[in-house]
């Protein structure tokens, strides 16, 4: 049986989520006025209320999208198209969805982009120094998808609000953390169901009441005009169930994952691995490890042959031959960045999975080190 430890790329579907989605796989269009359409509409609105309860926001502040990437584009492009201000602040370890959107805004909307560095610990600290009078928005990734490091979101949000600046948070990897948008001082937040043991093709954008965005998509005016297009009813229902499970079980699940991560990292260190940002605030589901002198892609492929699936970093950048921008941002040399892999766990990960991964890792490292010498 395969050992899947690439949950940061996507998580397996929780059976409870699948059961919740099942009745809606053949649902009618939620915009139809007949009984079947209204049944689908009620399912979408019920999901919206469930999600709002966990985000501690109003239901009409939650807008459903096709995933994290669309939500990020909607937040950043929408905000700048609605404003005359032309300065954006992001960090050096943002997901490509933010980096590429920022580049688009720079080229096509005349937006100046300041990329704030992070320390070797993977934590940003110089946000306030980058603020200008024309700064409209600060965008920060809550949990980095390669390192697992947790940014001080509430503090950054407070700085943003002290300067009357909008604050966007990419929370796609933060499903087990507190997501109270009020106490975290968040104006715009993105989430992705597929990182929560939910379905692919479902995301959301929280947009605080009063924040002006120009919609990306125009058409039938769904999602209160914010995102036109027929709603993906089963995915939305599944998203709400996935978030409900994640947030309701977060204390217990965090402790369970922490125990598994500890076992994993102790094993990796015993095999010569160096855990990146080990002393920083991190989620227990993501481990970045460097095996100096071992080519990461070869390691990954040989591990895959043994039925253990991990990643070299972000799944959105796996076709790139360049070292990870995240690893370079924390001061890692390119040669070491190319010797770094990511193990990421989910609710489906078991102790047996960790044992299997460590055994396979030991075998593969022995093979590769023999070839090197």
Task: Please say if the pLDDT value at position 145 is more than 70.
Answer: yes
By C-alpha distance, which of 114, 60, 69 is closest to 92? 114
> Cβ(98)–Cβ(170) under 8 Å?
yes
Q: Is the pLDDT of residue 314 over 80?
A: no
pLDDT beyond 60 at 148: yes
Does the pLDDT of residue 221 top 80, yes or no?
Answer: yes
Q: Which pLDDT belongs to residue 125?
A: 86
Q: Report residue 170: phi and psi, to 5°.
A: -85, 105
What CA dihedral angle connects 267, 270, 276 and 281, to 10 degrees? 50
From residue 86, alpha-carbon distances to 68, 80, 81, 82 in Å are: 23, 7, 10, 11
Mean pLDDT score across all residues of the chain: 96
Measured CA to CA, the distance from residue 300 to residue 309 in angstroms comes to: 8
Q: What is the pLDDT of residue 101?
A: 98
Q: What is the pLDDT of residues 319-350, one digit of tens each?
A: 556 899 999 999 999 999 999 999 999 999 99
Mean pLDDT on 351-371: 93
Q: Say if residues 250 and 176 touch (Cβ distance below 8 Å).
A: yes
- Dist. CA 156–CA 196, nearest whole Å: 25
C-alpha–C-alpha distance, residues 306 and 50, integer Å:
41
Give the pLDDT confidence of 102-138 residue by residue, as tens digits.
999 999 999 999 999 999 999 998 899 999 999 999 9
At residue 20, does pLDDT exceed 80?
A: yes
Tell me the two tokens of residue 106: 């720079």
Angle between the 351-372 and 296-305 helix axes, to the nearest 10 degrees? 130
What pTM does this model have?
0.96
CA distance 316 to 222: 29
Percent of the chain with pLDDT over 70: 97
Long-range contacts of 125-133, Cβ-Cβ distance < 8 Å, separation of 24 or more: 127/89, 127/156, 127/159, 127/160, 128/159, 128/163, 130/89, 131/89, 131/159, 131/163, 131/165, 132/87
Q: Using one digit for the tens of pLDDT, what is the confidence trace for 241-261?
A: 999 999 999 999 999 999 999
- CA atoms of 332 and 77, how far apart (whole Å): 32
Q: How many CB atoms lie within 10 A of CB 175?
A: 29
In the predicted structure, residue 186 carries a pLDDT above the cut 70: yes
> What is the rounded average pLDDT of the residues 6-28?
97
Q: Alpha-carbon distance 21 to 47, whole Å?
A: 11
- Give the pLDDT of residue 369: 79
- Identify whether 316 is a catalytic site residue: yes
> What distance in Å separates the CA atoms of residue 191 and residue 12, rounded to the nearest whole number?
17
Amino acid 166: pLDDT: 98
| Cα–Cα distances in angstroms (integers) from residue 207 to residues 58, 64, 87, 355, in the given order | 10, 11, 20, 43
DSSP string, 299-364: HHHHHHHTTEE-BSS-GGGTT--SPPHHHHHTT--HHHHTTEEEEE--TT--HHHHHHHHHHHHHH
List the domains of the chain with CATH numbers. Answer: 3-11+249-372 (3.90.1150.10), 15-248 (3.40.640.10)
């Amino acid at each position: 049986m395969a050992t899947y430890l690439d949950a940061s790329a996507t998580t397996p579907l929780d059976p409870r989520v699948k059961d919740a989605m099942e009745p809606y796989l053949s649902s009618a269009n939620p915009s139809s006025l007949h009984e079947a359409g209204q049944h689908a509409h009620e399912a979408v609105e019920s999901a919206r209320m469930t999600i709002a309860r966990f985000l501690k926001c109003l239901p009409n502040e939650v807008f459903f999208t096709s995933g994290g990437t669309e939500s990020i584009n909607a937040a950043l492009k929408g905000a700048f198209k609605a404003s005359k201000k032309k300065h954006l602040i992001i960090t050096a370890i943002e997901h490509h969805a933010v980096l590429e959107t920022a580049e688009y805004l720079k080229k096509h909307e005349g937006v100046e982009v300041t990329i704030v560095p992070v320390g070797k610990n993977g934590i940003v600290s110089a946000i306030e120094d980058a603020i200008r009078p024309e700064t409209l928005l600060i965008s920060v990734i809550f949990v980095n998808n390669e390192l697992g490091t947790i940014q001080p979101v509430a503090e950054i949000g407070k700085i943003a609000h002290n300067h009357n600046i909008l604050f966007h948070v990419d929370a796609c990897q933060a499903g087990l953390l507190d997501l109270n948008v009020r106490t975290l001082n968040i104006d715009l937040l993105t989430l992705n169901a597929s990182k929560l043991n939910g379905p692919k093709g479902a995301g959301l954008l929280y947009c605080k009441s009063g924040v002006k965005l120009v919609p990306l998509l125009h058409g039938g005016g769904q999602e209160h005009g914010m995102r036109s297009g027929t709603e993906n009813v089963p995915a939305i229902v599944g998203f709400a169930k996935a978030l409900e499970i994640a947030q309701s079980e977060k204390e217990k699940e965090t402790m369970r994952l922490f125990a598994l991560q500890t076992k994993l990292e102790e094993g990796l260190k015993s095999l010569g691995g160096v855990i990146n940002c080990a002393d920083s605030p991190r989620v227990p589901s993501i481990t970045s490890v460097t095996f100096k002198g071992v080519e990461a892609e070869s390691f990954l492929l040989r591990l895959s042959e043994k039925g253990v699936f991990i990643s070299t970093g972000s799944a959105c950048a796996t076709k790139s031959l360049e070292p990870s921008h995240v690893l370079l941002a924390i001061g890692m040399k390119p040669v070491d960045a190319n010797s770094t892999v990511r193990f990421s766990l989910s609710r489906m990960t078991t102790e047996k999975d960790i044992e299997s991964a460590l055994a396979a890792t030991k075998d593969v490292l022995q093979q590769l080190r023999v070839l090197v010498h």
